[in-house]
Amino acid sequence: MVLLLAGGLVAVALSVGAAITLGPADVSLVNVRDVLLNHLGLADIPVRVVKDAIVWEERLPRALTAAAAGAGLGICGAVMQSLLRNPLADPFLLGISSGASTGAVVIGVLGVGGSVLGLSGGAFIGALLAFALVMLLARLAGGGTDRVILAGVASTQLFSALTSFVIFAFADADETRGVMFWLLGSLEGVRWDDVALCAVVVAVGIAVCLAYAHALDAFSFGDEIAASLGIAVARVRLGLLVLTALITATLVSVTGAIGFVGLVLPHAARFLFGPRHAALIPATALIGAVFMVWVDAVSRVAFQPTPLPVGVGTALVGVPAFVLILVRKRRAP
Amino acid sequence: MTLRAERVVWHRGGALVVDDVTLRPAPGTTIGLLGPNGSGKSSLLRLLGGTAKPDSGVVTLDGAELRSLTRRDIARAVAVVSQHADTDVDIRVRDVVRLGRIPHRGSFGTASATRDVEAVAEALRHTGLTDKADQRWDTLSGGERQRAHIARALAQEPRELLLDEPTNHLDIRHQLELLSLVARLPVTSVIALHDLNLAATFCDEVIVLERGRAVAGGTPREVLTAELIARVYGVRARVGVDERGRLTVLFEPGPLDESAELTPEDAPWPR
């Protein structure tokens, strides 16, 4: 287990290093190493200023944000699937992505509070408002996992409609294209403060989820059994749902709504490492990080100079990989 | 001291489901909860397990009110095997049983890993599942799943065991095996049962519920009379004692009141 984790971390580091070398400007792994050592103050190796800027200001923060987003969306999916006992649950089930979209278009198209908040701030606020609405609706409908899911579906539809309405009624073609590109997920122009924000939020999230790994296991046979195993069901579920909402809202506000990762990677991790959350949480985080770094790198270079929205890439690369795992680990008929 | 219910009342969705029931099992005994569908057996078990709170009356564990204890404190003493506990997770039997160790763990890691392994192995052996420990849940039969739940409850090392119709969907042999296992365990068990003969065979005492009220209680011989069965279940029964001194209940088909027997003219279809 420890070996696997260490191996996973090495894989993440290697993926980030390799991803940085990809792109129109020629950068070698040696360049990457030199730039890193220079900036960490461990060496003073002469590197061309352009290469230094490409590695340190552009590709490295982008790769690290991709890793954090993959890890964060992955664990959010794993936690939601356990808490709601639904294999189709994903981080966006609770209206978060559609709420974020609405928030982003209200800022980006209508210009409300735009100078203060920016698209990201609007998305973050929209995501949390949608989540609050979902929890309120679920509460009014009497609670329970199925009510949470239904309330999430209803809110997702509502906010999608609001987003479309704002775009249809108020946006011109350029604004529409900009917002749509952002909504599909994009790591263009990610900066170091974005990296720091995502890394801190995701690291805290992983730590909390690991602390609750046994509680998440206890939910496998439903609320009644979880309660009889000593879990304060209502408190733990609400707390962890709020945690996933905060992680997802933060990531969406930086990267846009990257689909597929949170839905499918937890299943891939479960196939490979079993359903126990003490292993599943770190495994999902590592697989998610490696997966997103590569998908982002590929979407960046595949159709250059036009970048592919990373959300499109996740599905195009991820679905075949997932089908392969699904077929190889199929259940006995 | 043990788990006790004192004059508990519970309304669920506006309906009165448990009405002034008192239950004081002696430590180590096996208590049967009897009564027709909807008489409040499962509801009473939920009150005893602390997953529902009574509107009035108290449930106590070693004299302390259940609602004053944390869920984990309760789970270290009381284990529950409920109905319809199924999962879509591809989980192995050993991992199901290991769930029972959760109340004995801290947030990170476990108090004693060796104790966990021992308790899981012991629970698997008790329930005859050692050979199936590495099988996946979806490959188990209904009887094996029920035994896995009991193993999970045993791994909890409880003093009190609450079982809600554990013999449902089991064949006769597994019904007998399961209940003799539970009756042998050195714990206090409260079991909701439909089968009166099983209750008579394995329970030290039985409580009969009717529309939420406890209408009779005592040893199976004292309680399970033809009159009571007619009154509570609306069924004619002959109760006897066989040559080995065991209570047997035989049911007669047909309506309760022989004089009210249907004549062909009463048939609901046209003749």
What are A231-251's pLDDT values in tens digits?
999 899 999 999 999 999 899
B103/A contact by beta carbon, under 8 A: yes
Model pTM?
0.87
Rounded to a whole number of angstroms, the distance from the CA of A59 to the nearest CA of chain B is 36
B90/A contact by beta carbon, under 8 A: yes
pLDDT of B174: 85
Taking residues A291-319, what's their average pLDDT?
83
Q: What is the mean pLDDT of chain B?
A: 88
Taking residues B174-199, what's their average pLDDT?
91
Give backbone dihedrals phi and psi of B218, rounded to 5 degrees, phi first: 150, -165
Q: Is the pLDDT of residue B21 over 60?
A: yes
> What pLDDT digit, counting tens, does each position of B257-268 carry?
655 555 556 566
In terms of pLDDT, which residue wins out, A193 or A143?
A193
pLDDT of B257: 67
- Concatenate the DSSP letters of all residues of A189-242 into one string: T--HHHHHHHHHHHHHHHHHHHHTHHHHHHGGG-HHHHHHTT--HHHHHHHHHH
Q: Which residue of A has its CA nearest to B71?
A: A230
In terms of pLDDT, which residue wins out, A189 or B69?
B69
> What pLDDT digit, counting tens, does each position of A133-164 carry?
998 998 888 777 888 889 999 999 999 899 88
Interhelix angle for A2-21 vs A29-39, to 10°? 100
Binned at pLDDT 50, 70 and 90, residue A330 comes out as low
In this complex, do B85 and A270 lie within 8 Å of one another by their Cβ atoms?
A: no
Q: What is the mean pLDDT of chain A?
A: 86
In this complex, do B108 and A210 lie within 8 Å of one another by their Cβ atoms?
A: yes
Binned at pLDDT 50, 70 and 90, residue B199 comes out as very high
Q: Is B268 helix (H, G, I), strand (E, B) or coil?
A: coil
- HSE (side-chain half, CA atoms, 13 Å) at A322: 20
Burial of A170 (0-12, 13-18, 19+ CB in 10 A): middle
B13/A contact by beta carbon, under 8 A: no
State how beta strands B188-192 and B160-164 pair: parallel
A26/B contact by beta carbon, under 8 A: no
pLDDT of A171: 76
CA separation for the pair B114, B153 (Å, rounded): 18
Taking residues A76-99, what's their average pLDDT?
87
Provide the terminal-to-terminal Cα distance of chain A, rounded to the nearest Å: 31
Taking residues B53-65, what's their average pLDDT?
92
Binned at pLDDT 50, 70 and 90, residue A77 comes out as very high
Residue with tokens 């104790």: B115
CA separation for the pair A252, B118 (Å, rounded): 46
**Amino acid identity at A82:** S
Spatial contact of B79 and B35, defined as CB atoms under 8 Å apart? no
